[in-house]
Amino acid sequence: MVTRDPSVAVVGAGMSGLCMAIALLRSGINDVTIYEKADEVGGTWRENTYPGLTCDVPSRVYQYTFAPKPNWSHMFSPGGEIQAYFRGVADQFGLRDRIRFGTEVVSARFEDDRWVVRTDAGDEAGAESEVDFLISATGVLHHPRMPSIAGLDDFAGPVFHSARWDHSVELAGRRIAVIGNGSTGVQLVCGLAGVAGRVVLFQRTAQWIVPMPNPPYSKFASRSHRAVPWLDRMAYRAYSFVFDTFAVALTKPGLRRAAMGALCRVSLRRVRDPELRAALTPSYEPMCKRLVVSGGFYRAIQRDDVELVTAGIDHVEPRGVVTDDGALHEADVIVACTGFDTHAFFRPMRLTGRDGIAADEVWRDGPRAYRTVAMPGFPNFFMMLGPHSPVGNHSLTAVAEHQADHILGWIQGWRRGEFDTVEPTQSATESYNDKLRAAMPNTVWTTGCDSWYLNKDGVPEVWPFTPAEHRAMLAETDLREYDLRRRVAAR
């Protein structure tokens, strides 16, 4: 059978972008260009380098199935080790020659059945290129969100976001104010306790914490996994089973949800001071927000050199942070652990689809997609970890692999000449999103809390079913739900 050779542009060289590019290359598609705005691969693991950074997904499952690492150092690996893993994967699969580092895609428009990709190179040669397929792999956690606090610019010391860590700042013996107590804030407190002179954690909303230990792997375990590869596969499957079981607690009321809630509540008994324990006790149901995984936070927060502040922040002055009760909390350094714009997806890239339709206009009421990877009106365009993908406490490497396989299936169909452009229909997309909305009331995310899962209307923008159901959905294709077109004339 005669096949065509497609050209593919992948935007982003983070975890999902590398996964997509490798899937293409392994299938024999060689005209692949990866656009990366930074000077190294890794995405969020390149950007985040704060003390205490650790993945909250077990190492054995936070890896690609096609690139196992037998010698992880811990059950939950430190961020630097994960970044080294992705750098090694890029080298192993020869991706660096295909990556245009330091090149940001500013716009892409669909013209004459191809995508015209424009970068920030201005009028230089190569600023524009044409490809048959455009794939966004820009990730979820890459637009840091600084808090809007009066006087923050007046502070006399260093101020920075946790994802823009300033390694030139001395930490030992300093008074450090940590604003935000999600996963990052919790990890940072654990990383700074005993190093800084004093750590003050400003908590707006208490978080439920799962007290998971993080034991190191022995040399024997590393040698065993290297010598017997099926051990790694068995560990991956075992952890995947655990995550699938956990997902049932998120998406369906019942015994598993109650058991996870009981575990979180029991773990709070580690805090001996009743007043501190009460301050750390959330007012919402466990798992309504993304669970924080930490084996050391309750120990760290009870140290004499660590303080929890629950009063709201009124403003910042040169000497420190002033709370609503008028108290001044003096500090030498302020770190904002205030998260990311998780609803930006590929933006600020300007995306223009068929007949001049703009993605910003389509998404004016919030991001929407079909089967988490595609959009009507945007032919031959796909997203990795797009709207409503299973995120939160899931292994995103597994989600990315399944989405990459699904996208690759469409590109293989193009190679066989089955169509020239593909996009989901508007009716199929509306029906799909109606199904998601109808399932949301059964999930834990609608039980009464404010989280980054919610859109501006308070509706969660996450996958309301299990990861297994997401895999099954991507494995099946109903051609009636797609607009498949052929060119009227060869270009």
DSSP H or E stretch at residue 221: helix 219-227
pTM of the predicted model, to two decimals? 0.94
Range with the largest mean pLDDT of 8-17, 140-149, 458-467: 8-17
Does domain 152-216+221-336 fall into CATH 3.40.50.1700?
no
Residue 90 in contact with residue 18, Cβ under 8 Å? yes
21, 328, 415 from 118: Cα distances, Å: 20, 49, 25
Residue 391: predicted pLDDT: 76
**DSSP of 365-391, one letter per residue?**
T----BTTTB-TT-TTEEETT-TT-S-
Residue 452 in contact with residue 141, Cβ under 8 Å? no
Determine the length of the chain. 491
Given a cut of 60, whether residue 491 has pLDDT beyond it is no
Query: Token pair for residue 67?
Result: 């690139």
- 8-41+95-143+341-485: which CATH topology? FAD/NAD(P)-binding domain (3.50.50)
Point out which residues pair with 161 in neighbouring strands.
336
Given a cut of 70, whether residue 77 has pLDDT beyond it is yes
What is the distance in angstroms between the CA of the first residue and the CA of the last residue of the chain? Answer: 21
Share of the chain above pLDDT 90, in %: 75
Give the single-character DSSP code of 457. T
Residue 112: predicted pLDDT: 94
pLDDT band for position 490 (cuts 50, 70, 90)? very low
Residue 386: predicted pLDDT: 93
Given a cut of 90, whether residue 385 has pLDDT beyond it is yes
User: Which is nearest to 411 in space by CA: 385, 386, 380, 373?
Assistant: 380
Residue 229: predicted pLDDT: 87
pLDDT band for position 123 (cuts 50, 70, 90)? low
The mean-pLDDT minimum among 36-40, 186-190, 346-350, 385-389 falls in: 346-350
pLDDT band for position 13 (cuts 50, 70, 90)? very high
Mean pLDDT for the chain overall: 92
Range with the largest mean pLDDT of 143-147, 247-251, 409-413: 409-413
Query: Tell me, what amino acid is at 290?
Result: R
3 state SS of 22? helix
**Whole-angstrom distance, CA of residue 4 vs CA of residue 399:** 28
Pairing mode, strands 320-323 and 328-330: antiparallel
Query: Token pair for residue 269?
Result: 């008994």
Given a cut of 70, whether residue 2 has pLDDT beyond it is no
**Whole-angstrom distance, CA of residue 120 vs CA of residue 142:** 18
Residue 244: predicted pLDDT: 77
**Whole-angstrom distance, CA of residue 324 vs CA of residue 210:** 30
pLDDT band for position 140 (cuts 50, 70, 90)? confident
pLDDT band for position 73 (cuts 50, 70, 90)? very high
User: Which is nearest to 407 in space by CA: 198, 82, 137?
Assistant: 137
Averaged pLDDT for residues 62-84: 96
Averaged pLDDT for residues 48-58: 95
Backbone angles phi and psi of 115, in degrees to 5: -100, 130
Annotated domain spans of the chain: 8-41+95-143+341-485, 152-216+221-336
Backbone conformation region of residue 102, classed left if phi is above 0, alpha if psi is from -120 to 50, else beta: left
Residue 473: predicted pLDDT: 96
Query: Tell me, what amino acid is at 416?
Result: R
Averaged pLDDT for residues 154-174: 97
- Give residue for tokens 């660096």: 96
**Whole-angstrom distance, CA of residue 225 vs CA of residue 383:** 33
3 state SS of 211? coil
Residue 176 in contact with residue 154, Cβ under 8 Å? no
